């Protein structure tokens, strides 16, 4: 009997992997938001930061080496997260073949009830976001200049509906993070018995708000003309 | 009290069920919900109709037999209460009440409001016990157990296996039940030798029948014994510790 395949076969194991991959992705969105704050320091700082992301790790690693390692880890985390979520969702949908005529929602938060479709929205948004500001595909960004991150962000966000997509996606991410961060403790069995409920909820709330407000500020700053 | 009841009627497991509407003109606020069904059944019997099948035993909220969905809530509107301890004074005069059996793939309807909860027994059979050699009963105070630990174990042991957690869970998960059964043994010294094997066997058994937890917390809200989802975290921790 292989321990690892048994572990993955179980829903408890899948949830643990979702928690671990979720921590990786949470760390990424937090650092990504903090790094993007350089938008407020002007084009030189932001573009230098983007270039630094490629250079960091050299000469030990080749140019963009660390960046690719990070991308690989993120891709793996996304893959695990989506695969486990899909398998669990399909299994859970089968658990009640005959639905209730009437079932009230008692404690389940809006965030918890939108995890699945919220996750799908975030997944689609990530593809759009990559095409928009990383690959700079002409059909999503007509004025993309490779290497000039500041210009690409500002000219992109000046189109109101592009900003709209980002704003909707960040709100979806905020809800997803809130329930996800809180659930992570539960799935990994981290329980502070002295004050069980509060600090986990607080942690999830604080970081969901920090990341959401930080990310929302970028399109809003461009739309209001604060960043030009 | 005047009440209108929409009750799920289903002849047997294979039959197609449907809601049947009954009007009651003479319900008393002092009746329990099961007594309301008793009175309705008397009337049905007098009219020559088949009485509504529902499960019940102790009628004092400790056996876990009774339990139906009342207006979309397992065990009805009162928190921390089994259906038998729910009284009609919690309803308004003229209220329309919908009564449905637990719905879960693992809990097939046997008749009307009665479902087969055998998978709960299977989960307990898989590991919800302590293996000891038969013999004289050991002295109860030989193994000292700190009071808070004993209390915590009792909190988990309060589970009466009614199935409300599964019934309310949007995923049809049995995590709260299984976690309670795992934890009340895992907390005590007597449960330690089989702690890892127990949680793995019980979780595996659970997962062969039920959906899985996504932390909606709906189970906790309807549990007549107020069992905390803290125990689910404990079960997860024990399971992960045993797997890694």
Show me where the domains of chain B are located: 3-110, 118-243
Which residues partner with A171 through β-bridges? none
Of the candidate CATH numbers 3.30.465.10, 3.90.1150.60, 3.10.20.30, 3.30.1600.10, the domain formed by B3-110 belongs to 3.10.20.30
- Judge whether A191 is closer than 8 Å to chain B, CB to CB: yes
**How far is B176 from B158, CA to CA, in rounded Å?**
12
Q: What is the pLDDT of residues A103-128, one digit of tens each?
A: 999 989 999 999 999 999 999 999 99
| Closest residue of chain B to A102, computed from CA coordinates | B72
Nearest to B185 by CA among B195, B196, B172, B171: B195
CB nearest A11 (choices: B172, B207, B215): B207
State the nearest Cα–Cα gap between B140 and chain A, in angstroms. Answer: 27
The residue ranges of every structural domain in chain A are: 3-96+108-223
Half-sphere exposure of residue A51, counting CA atoms within 13 Å on the CB side?
A: 10
Q: How far is B239 from chain A (nearest CA, A)?
A: 8
CATH code for the structural domain at A3-96+108-223: 1.20.1300
pLDDT in tens, A131-186: 999 999 988 999 999 999 999 999 999 999 999 999 999 999 999 999 999 999 99
Q: B58 by DSSP, 3-state: which?
A: coil
- Quote the CA–CA distance of A184 and B7 in Å, as a whole number: 40
- In the prediction, which pLDDT does A8 show? 87
pTM to 2 decimal places: 0.92
Alpha-carbon gap, residue A220 to B162, rounded angstroms: 52
Nearest to A191 among B203, B217, B230 (CB): B230
pLDDT at A36: 96
Q: Taking the domain B118-243, which CATH number applies?
A: 1.10.1060.10
Q: How many residues does chain B have?
A: 244
Only one residue has tokens 């307990």, namely B124
**Which value does ipTM take for this structure?**
0.90
B43-80 residue pLDDT tens: 999 999 999 999 999 999 999 999 999 999 999 999 99
How many secondary structure helices (H) and strands (E) does chain A include? 9, 0
Which of A100, A185, A187 lies closest to B69 in CB terms? A100
């Amino acid at each position: 009997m292989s321990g690892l395949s048994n572990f993955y076969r179980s829903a408890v194991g899948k949830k643990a992997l979702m928690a671990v991959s979720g921590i990786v992705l949470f760390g990424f969105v937090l650092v990504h938001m903090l790094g993007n704050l350089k938008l407020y320091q002007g084009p030189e700082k932001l573009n230098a930061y983007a270039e630094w992301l490629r250079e960091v790790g050299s000469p030990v690693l080749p140019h963009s080496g660390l960046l690719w390692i990070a991308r690989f880890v993120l891709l793996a985390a996304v893959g695990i997260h989506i695969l486990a979520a899909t398998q669990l969702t399909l299994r859970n949908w089968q658990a009640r073949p005959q639905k209730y005529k009437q079932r009230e929602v008692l404690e389940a938060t809006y965030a918890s009830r939108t995890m699945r479709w919220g996750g799908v929205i975030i997944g689609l948004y990530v593809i759009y976001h990559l095409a928009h500001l990383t690959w700079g595909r002409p059909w999503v960004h007509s004025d993309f200049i490779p290497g000039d991150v500041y210009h690409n962000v500002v000219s992109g966000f000046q189109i109101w509906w592009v900003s709209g997509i980002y704003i909707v996606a960040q709100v979806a991410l905020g809800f997803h993070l809130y329930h996800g961060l809180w659930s992570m403790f539960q799935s990994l069995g981290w329980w502070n018995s002295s004050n069980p409920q509060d600090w986990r909820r607080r942690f999830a709330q604080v970081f969901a708000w920090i990341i959401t407000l930080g990310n929302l500020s970028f399109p809003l700053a461009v739309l209001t003309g604060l960043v030009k | 009290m005047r009440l209108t009841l929409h009750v799920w009627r289903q002849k047997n497991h294979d039959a197609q069920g449907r809601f049947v509407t009954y009007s009651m003109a003479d319900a008393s606020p002092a009746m329990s919900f099961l007594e309301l069904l008793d009175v309705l059944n008397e009337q049905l019997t007098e009219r020559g109709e088949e009485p509504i099948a529902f499960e019940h035993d102790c009628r004092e909220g400790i056996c876990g037999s009774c339990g139906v969905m009342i207006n979309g809530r397992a065990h009805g509107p009162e928190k921390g209460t089994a259906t038998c301890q729910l009284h009609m004074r919690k309803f308004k005069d003229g209220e329309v009440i919908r009564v449905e059996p637990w719905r879960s793939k693992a809990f097939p309807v046997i008749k009307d409001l009665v479902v087969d909860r055998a998978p709960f027994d299977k989960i307990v059979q898989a590991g919800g016990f302590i293996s000891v050699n038969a013999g004289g009963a050991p002295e109860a105070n030989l193994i000292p157990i700190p009071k808070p630990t004993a209390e915590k174990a009792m909190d988990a042991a309060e589970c009466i296996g009614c199935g409300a957690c599964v019934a309310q869970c949007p995923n049809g998960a049995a995590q709260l039940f299984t976690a309670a059964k795992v934890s009340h043994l895992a907390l005590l010294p007597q449960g330690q030798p089989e702690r890892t094997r127990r949680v793995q066997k019980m979780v595996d058994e659970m997962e062969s029948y039920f959906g899985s937890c996504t932390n909606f917390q709906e189970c906790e809200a309807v549990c007549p014994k107020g069992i905390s989802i803290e125990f689910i975290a404990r079960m997860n921790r024990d399971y992960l510790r045993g797997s890694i």
